[in-house]
Amino acid sequence: MVRNMKIKWRFTGLFLVMNILSLFLFWLGISISTGFNVLVVEVGNVILALLPASIVYFYFSNYSRRMAQLIRITGQISTGNFGKIHHSDSTDELGQIFVILNDLSRQVEIALKKGYQEANKMDAILTSMQEGVIILDQVGRIVIVNPAAENFFNCHQEEVKLKYLTALSGLQELDKLVAKGLAGEYPESLEVTVQQLSLWVQVSPILDKYGRSIGAVIVCYDTSELRRLEQIRTEFVANVSHELRTPLTSIKGFVETLLDGAAENPVFRERFLKIVQAETLRLQRLIEDLLTLSRIENRNKRLESAPGSCLLLNAYKKIQPIIENYAEAKDIDLKIDLPPDLPLVAVGEDLLSQVLLNLLENAVKYTTQGYVRLSARLEQENIHIEFRDTGSGIPAESLPRIFDRFYRVDKARSREQGGTGLGLSIVKHIIEGAGGTIEVSSQLEVGTVFTCVLPAIKQGVLQA
């Protein structure tokens, strides 16, 4: 019954007991005056003095212990210790506080766990995003910068946290866009250049439930590769147009001349028709090279899943008559050093023959005297194929662009000899599509060396 008493009733009962004891003391004093034994009276006085104090001490000690326990438990909760709270042995107000604290502890623990899970999930999402994300507070200070944005702006989150965006980008156009986002306006975007990167930036406001802006989120998309591809496409179209226009203009001019009466002169007719035939063949080679390059690019997408293989010596034998006749016609010494015991190369025979033909043809074409040498060796589970000549060489400033489409070191000479400017680009696509590399070194009037490194295959296993 006592366990179910409210605190106010306990103190009311204590007050009544104390009043009763006071009345008893009053009665006892009257009794002393009527003849009680003095010793008995003194003992009674001591008992009556100590009894109220003992009762008060007992009650308040109990409440003091429970309040101390309550303070300790709330301190544990405030520090994140959500262990089970033992209920008080009473159901009064303090006991109910213990029950509420226990429920509150469980709810806070669950809420914090959910918060940690959501924070970890958000962190994982931001970390894995390829787009850069920057989150600003309501006054425009940086709160979060994900790794992609750190790479874009060459910074670390801890360095720029709680700083204004100007310290990160220094772009006035972006600052104006952010100001609109912080004002709660509709999302806007623009393209900016940061750290030599082309970024498409979109700024959106962060709104609370009342529609008021409490910050902004900036999403940055790296469009550098897209812009590069657009530039390549533009240059490719321009180059193809130029390469097609030149022979077509020549053909058109000579045909018109023939139609205007030059066909009546046998000398002019034969000469002009040979030029038309040469330009037609040049157009044919150009179109065939373009189709070859397109096929190789499409095939490269499948090479990793289904790589071809062949013997280097067999690939050379397919183009041997062409190269030997070409070298013999120019009186160039052709040296071939291909060991027959080389393992298979991780590229198809037709593609490797194309590589050998293009590089050997170029070597013979630009060599007026001396030799052209083809050699190969096995080194660190790769086959190194070397094309060496004693030709005119390539200027140092041209080496970085030597594999670009339609790039020619000597444009006039290349066109005169029937080149399309696509041969080395085709070679590079084939080699890299097979998982290999190609390098070039050259010295003017000394010669040029092309080195192709291709993975070897031993006993049907591609060497790593």
Block means of pLDDT (10 residues each) for the chain, 464 residues, are 50 64 62 55 56 65 74 76 62 72 79 82 83 88 88 84 77 81 82 84 87 88 85 76 78 85 83 85 78 69 57 91 90 91 87 89 89 92 93 88 77 55 84 89 90 80 47
Looking at residue 344, the DSSP 8-state letter turns out to be E
CA–CA gap between residue 362 and residue 391 (Å, rounded): 10
Task: State the pLDDT at residue 440.
Answer: 93
At 14 the pLDDT is 64
What is the CB neighbour count within 10 angstroms for residue 281? 12
pLDDT at 11: 61
* Predicted local confidence at residue 374, as pLDDT: 94
Sheet-wide strand order for 142-145: 142-145, 132-136, 213-222, 197-207, 188-194
Question: CA-to-CA distance for 390 and 363, rounded, in angstroms?
Answer: 8
Pair 219, 206: CB distance under 8 Å: no
Query: So what's the pLDDT on residue 56?
Result: 64
CATH topology of domain 227-303: Helix Hairpins (1.10.287)
Query: Does residue 165 sit in helix, strand or coil?
Result: coil
Question: C-alpha angle with apex 450: 449 to 456, nearest 5 degrees?
Answer: 130
Report the pLDDT value the prediction gives residue 2, as an integer from 0 to 100. 41
Domain 129-222, CATH class in plain words? alpha beta
Helix runs in 183-223, H state only: none
Q: Give pTM, 2 decimals.
A: 0.52
Q: For the chain, how big is the Rg over CA atoms in Å?
A: 46
Predicted confidence at residue 43, as pLDDT, reads: 57
Pick from 258, 452, 272: nearest CA to 351: 452
Q: How far apart are CA 196 and CA 224, in angstroms?
A: 9
Cα 404 to Cα 424: distance, rounded to the nearest angstrom:
8
**Contact partners, residue 371, CB within 8 Å, separation at least 6:** 332, 333, 334, 335, 389, 390
Q: Are 186 and 169 in contact (CB under 8 A)?
A: no
From residue 456, alpha-carbon distances to 4, 299, 461, 464 in Å are 88, 20, 9, 9
| Euclidean distance between CA atoms 220 and 262, whole angstroms | 65
pLDDT at residue 1, rounded to an integer? 37
Residue range 307-464 forms a domain whose CATH class is alpha beta
DSSP state of 378: E
Domain ranges for the chain: 2-110, 129-222, 227-303, 307-464
Q: What is the pLDDT of residue 451?
A: 94
